[in-house]
Protein backbone atom coordinates (compact mmCIF):
# COMPACT_ATOMS: atom_id res chain seq x y z
CA UNK A 1 0.00 0.00 0.00
CA UNK A 2 2.96 2.33 0.56
CA UNK A 3 3.78 2.40 -3.16
CA UNK A 4 0.13 3.06 -4.00
CA UNK A 5 -0.07 5.98 -1.59
CA UNK A 6 3.14 7.41 -3.02
CA UNK A 7 1.54 7.34 -6.50
CA UNK A 8 -1.57 8.99 -5.10
CA UNK A 9 0.50 11.64 -3.34
CA UNK A 10 2.39 12.45 -6.53
CA UNK A 11 -0.87 12.68 -8.50
CA UNK A 12 -2.38 15.03 -5.93
CA UNK A 13 0.63 17.33 -5.95
CA UNK A 14 0.91 17.19 -9.74
CA UNK A 15 -2.62 18.52 -10.16
CA UNK A 16 -1.42 21.79 -8.57
CA UNK A 17 2.25 22.20 -9.56
CA UNK A 18 3.92 25.25 -8.06
CA UNK A 19 1.06 25.74 -5.60
CA UNK A 20 0.65 24.71 -1.99
CA UNK A 21 -1.47 21.64 -1.37
CA UNK A 22 -2.40 21.56 2.28
CA UNK A 23 -1.53 18.60 4.45
CA UNK A 24 -5.21 18.27 5.34
CA UNK A 25 -6.24 17.96 1.70
CA UNK A 26 -3.52 15.41 1.04
CA UNK A 27 -4.56 13.39 4.08
CA UNK A 28 -8.26 13.41 3.18
CA UNK A 29 -7.43 12.07 -0.28
CA UNK A 30 -4.80 9.55 0.79
CA UNK A 31 -7.04 8.06 3.46
CA UNK A 32 -10.45 8.64 1.91
CA UNK A 33 -11.22 4.99 2.63
CA UNK A 34 -10.44 3.20 5.83
CA UNK A 35 -9.18 4.58 9.12
CA UNK A 36 -6.61 7.39 8.93
CA UNK A 37 -3.43 7.10 10.97
CA UNK A 38 -3.35 8.49 14.49
CA UNK A 39 -0.99 11.34 13.57
CA UNK A 40 -2.12 12.34 10.09
CA UNK A 41 0.30 15.23 9.58
CA UNK A 42 3.26 13.09 10.59
CA UNK A 43 2.17 10.34 8.21
CA UNK A 44 1.82 12.82 5.32
CA UNK A 45 5.28 14.16 6.14
CA UNK A 46 6.69 10.63 6.05
CA UNK A 47 5.19 9.94 2.63
CA UNK A 48 6.46 13.27 1.29
CA UNK A 49 9.96 12.38 2.51
CA UNK A 50 9.79 9.02 0.74
CA UNK A 51 8.59 10.68 -2.46
CA UNK A 52 11.45 13.20 -2.24
CA UNK A 53 13.92 10.35 -2.01
CA UNK A 54 12.58 9.05 -5.33
CA UNK A 55 12.23 12.36 -7.18
CA UNK A 56 15.12 14.34 -5.73
CA UNK A 57 15.61 16.51 -2.63
CA UNK A 58 14.39 19.70 -4.32
CA UNK A 59 11.34 18.15 -5.99
CA UNK A 60 8.88 18.99 -3.20
CA UNK A 61 9.07 22.14 -1.11
CA UNK A 62 7.64 22.32 2.40
CA UNK A 63 5.49 25.23 3.49
CA UNK A 64 3.84 26.02 6.80
CA UNK A 65 0.47 24.71 5.59
CA UNK A 66 1.49 21.99 3.14
CA UNK A 67 3.69 21.02 0.20
CA UNK A 68 4.53 22.24 -3.30
CA UNK A 69 5.58 20.11 -6.27
CA UNK A 70 8.41 22.03 -7.91
CA UNK A 71 7.70 21.48 -11.57
CA UNK A 72 6.31 23.45 -14.49
CA UNK A 73 2.61 22.97 -15.38
CA UNK A 74 3.69 22.04 -18.93
CA UNK A 75 5.28 18.87 -17.56
CA UNK A 76 1.94 17.57 -16.22
CA UNK A 77 -0.10 15.90 -18.95
CA UNK A 78 -3.50 16.68 -17.47
CA UNK A 79 -2.67 20.40 -17.37
CA UNK A 80 -1.20 20.36 -20.88
CA UNK A 81 -4.39 18.63 -22.00
CA UNK A 82 -6.53 21.43 -20.60
CA UNK A 83 -4.33 24.13 -22.11
CA UNK A 84 -4.46 22.53 -25.55
CA UNK A 85 -8.24 22.24 -25.35
CA UNK A 86 -8.43 25.94 -24.52
CA UNK A 87 -6.27 26.76 -27.56
CA UNK A 88 -8.47 24.57 -29.74
CA UNK A 89 -11.64 26.23 -28.49
CA UNK A 90 -10.24 29.70 -29.14
CA UNK A 91 -9.08 28.93 -32.68
CA UNK A 92 -11.14 30.02 -35.69
CA UNK A 93 -9.04 27.86 -38.05
CA UNK A 94 -10.30 24.26 -38.36
CA UNK A 95 -6.82 22.96 -39.21
CA UNK A 96 -5.27 24.61 -36.15
CA UNK A 97 -8.14 23.45 -33.97
CA UNK A 98 -7.69 19.87 -35.15
CA UNK A 99 -3.94 20.02 -34.51
CA UNK A 100 -4.51 21.18 -30.93
CA UNK A 101 -7.18 18.55 -30.34
CA UNK A 102 -5.02 15.76 -31.76
CA UNK A 103 -2.07 16.78 -29.59
CA UNK A 104 -4.30 16.91 -26.51
CA UNK A 105 -5.81 13.49 -27.23
CA UNK A 106 -2.37 11.98 -27.81
CA UNK A 107 -1.50 12.66 -24.16
CA UNK A 108 -3.99 10.03 -22.97
CA UNK A 109 -2.78 6.61 -21.85
CA UNK A 110 -5.64 4.48 -20.57
CA UNK A 111 -7.94 5.62 -17.76
CA UNK A 112 -7.14 8.60 -15.52
CA UNK A 113 -5.39 7.62 -12.30
CA UNK A 114 -5.24 3.96 -13.29
CA UNK A 115 -3.18 2.15 -10.67
CA UNK A 116 -3.54 5.03 -8.19
CA UNK A 117 -5.47 3.79 -5.13
CA UNK A 118 -7.32 6.99 -4.29
CA UNK A 119 -11.12 6.89 -4.50
CA UNK A 120 -11.12 10.65 -3.91
CA UNK A 121 -9.11 11.27 -7.08
CA UNK A 122 -11.26 8.97 -9.16
CA UNK A 123 -14.54 10.36 -7.84
CA UNK A 124 -13.63 14.05 -7.92
CA UNK A 125 -11.35 14.21 -10.97
CA UNK A 126 -11.63 11.18 -13.23
CA UNK A 127 -15.24 11.53 -14.41
CA UNK A 128 -14.76 15.14 -15.50
CA UNK A 129 -11.52 14.35 -17.29
CA UNK A 130 -13.07 11.47 -19.21
CA UNK A 131 -15.99 13.68 -20.27
CA UNK A 132 -13.59 16.36 -21.51
CA UNK A 133 -11.63 13.71 -23.39
CA UNK A 134 -14.72 12.32 -25.10
CA UNK A 135 -16.01 15.77 -25.98
CA UNK A 136 -12.64 16.67 -27.52
CA UNK A 137 -12.55 13.37 -29.39
CA UNK A 138 -16.03 13.95 -30.80
CA UNK A 139 -15.07 17.46 -31.88
CA UNK A 140 -11.97 16.14 -33.67
CA UNK A 141 -14.06 13.49 -35.40
CA UNK A 142 -16.59 16.15 -36.40
CA UNK A 143 -13.81 18.17 -38.02
CA UNK A 144 -12.60 15.06 -39.84
CA UNK A 145 -16.10 14.30 -41.13
CA UNK A 146 -16.44 17.87 -42.39
CA UNK A 147 -13.09 17.43 -44.17
CA UNK A 148 -14.29 14.24 -45.91
CA UNK A 149 -12.26 11.68 -43.96
CA UNK A 150 -15.28 9.40 -43.51
CA UNK A 151 -13.63 6.23 -44.80
CA UNK A 152 -10.84 6.22 -42.24
CA UNK A 153 -13.28 7.22 -39.50
CA UNK A 154 -15.70 4.31 -39.96
CA UNK A 155 -13.30 1.75 -38.45
CA UNK A 156 -12.17 4.10 -35.66
CA UNK A 157 -15.76 4.82 -34.68
CA UNK A 158 -16.68 1.13 -34.65
CA UNK A 159 -14.02 0.63 -31.98
CA UNK A 160 -15.13 3.70 -30.04
CA UNK A 161 -18.80 2.72 -29.81
CA UNK A 162 -17.72 -0.72 -28.62
CA UNK A 163 -15.85 0.95 -25.74
CA UNK A 164 -18.58 3.55 -25.08
CA UNK A 165 -21.78 1.69 -26.01
CA UNK A 166 -24.21 4.37 -24.81
CA UNK A 167 -22.35 7.42 -26.07
CA UNK A 168 -24.89 8.73 -28.58
CA UNK A 169 -22.68 11.38 -30.28
CA UNK A 170 -20.20 8.64 -31.28
CA UNK A 171 -23.01 6.50 -32.70
CA UNK A 172 -24.31 9.53 -34.58
CA UNK A 173 -20.89 10.14 -36.09
CA UNK A 174 -20.44 6.48 -36.99
CA UNK A 175 -23.80 6.38 -38.78
CA UNK A 176 -22.89 9.49 -40.76
CA UNK A 177 -19.47 8.05 -41.67
CA UNK A 178 -21.04 4.76 -42.81
CA UNK A 179 -23.61 6.57 -44.94
CA UNK A 180 -20.92 8.66 -46.58
CA UNK A 181 -19.03 5.49 -47.39
CA UNK A 182 -22.06 4.30 -49.35
CA UNK A 183 -23.12 1.85 -46.61
CA UNK A 184 -26.62 3.16 -45.90
CA UNK A 185 -28.06 -0.27 -45.08
CA UNK A 186 -25.32 -0.79 -42.49
CA UNK A 187 -25.93 2.71 -41.12
CA UNK A 188 -29.63 1.90 -40.67
CA UNK A 189 -28.74 -1.35 -38.94
CA UNK A 190 -26.42 0.48 -36.54
CA UNK A 191 -29.20 2.90 -35.65
CA UNK A 192 -31.32 -0.07 -34.68
CA UNK A 193 -28.48 -1.39 -32.50
CA UNK A 194 -28.21 1.82 -30.49
CA UNK A 195 -32.00 2.33 -30.38
CA UNK A 196 -32.49 -1.16 -28.92
CA UNK A 197 -29.62 -0.76 -26.47
CA UNK A 198 -30.86 2.59 -25.16
CA UNK A 199 -34.39 1.24 -24.81
CA UNK A 200 -33.20 -1.86 -22.95
CA UNK A 201 -30.71 -0.17 -20.63
CA UNK A 202 -32.20 3.30 -20.11
CA UNK A 203 -35.83 2.88 -21.05
CA UNK A 204 -35.86 5.91 -23.36
CA UNK A 205 -35.66 6.74 -27.07
CA UNK A 206 -32.48 7.97 -28.78
CA UNK A 207 -31.88 11.71 -28.61
CA UNK A 208 -33.64 13.89 -31.22
CA UNK A 209 -30.54 14.33 -33.38
CA UNK A 210 -30.13 10.57 -33.77
CA UNK A 211 -33.80 10.25 -34.60
CA UNK A 212 -33.48 12.97 -37.26
CA UNK A 213 -30.54 11.13 -38.81
CA UNK A 214 -32.64 7.96 -38.95
CA UNK A 215 -35.49 9.82 -40.64
CA UNK A 216 -33.07 11.32 -43.17
CA UNK A 217 -31.61 7.89 -43.90
CA UNK A 218 -35.05 6.41 -44.51
CA UNK A 219 -35.98 9.32 -46.77
CA UNK A 220 -32.73 9.06 -48.74
CA UNK A 221 -31.63 12.56 -47.75
CA UNK A 222 -27.97 13.50 -47.42
CA UNK A 223 -26.76 13.67 -43.82
CA UNK A 224 -25.33 16.95 -42.62
CA UNK A 225 -22.06 17.20 -40.69
CA UNK A 226 -23.74 19.76 -38.44
CA UNK A 227 -25.35 16.74 -36.77
CA UNK A 228 -21.86 15.35 -36.05
Whole-model pTM: value is: 0.89
Whether 89 shows a pLDDT value over 80: the answer reads yes
Question: Is residue 1 predicted with pLDDT exceeding 60?
Answer: no
pLDDT in tens, 132-190: 999 999 999 999 999 999 999 999 999 999 999 999 999 999 999 999 999 999 999 99
Handedness of CA 133, 135, 136, 142 (dihedral sign): positive
Contact 47, 157 (CB under 8 A): no
At residue 225, does pLDDT exceed 80? no
Q: Is residue 220 classed as helix, strand or coil in its secondary structure? A: coil
Amino acid sequence: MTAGRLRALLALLALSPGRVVTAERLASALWSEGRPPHNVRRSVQTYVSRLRSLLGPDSIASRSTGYVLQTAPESVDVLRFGKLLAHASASSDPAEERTCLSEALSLWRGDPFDGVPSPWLKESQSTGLVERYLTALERRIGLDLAAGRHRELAAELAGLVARHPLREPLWRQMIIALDRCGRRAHALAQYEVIRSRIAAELGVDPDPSLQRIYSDLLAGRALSTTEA
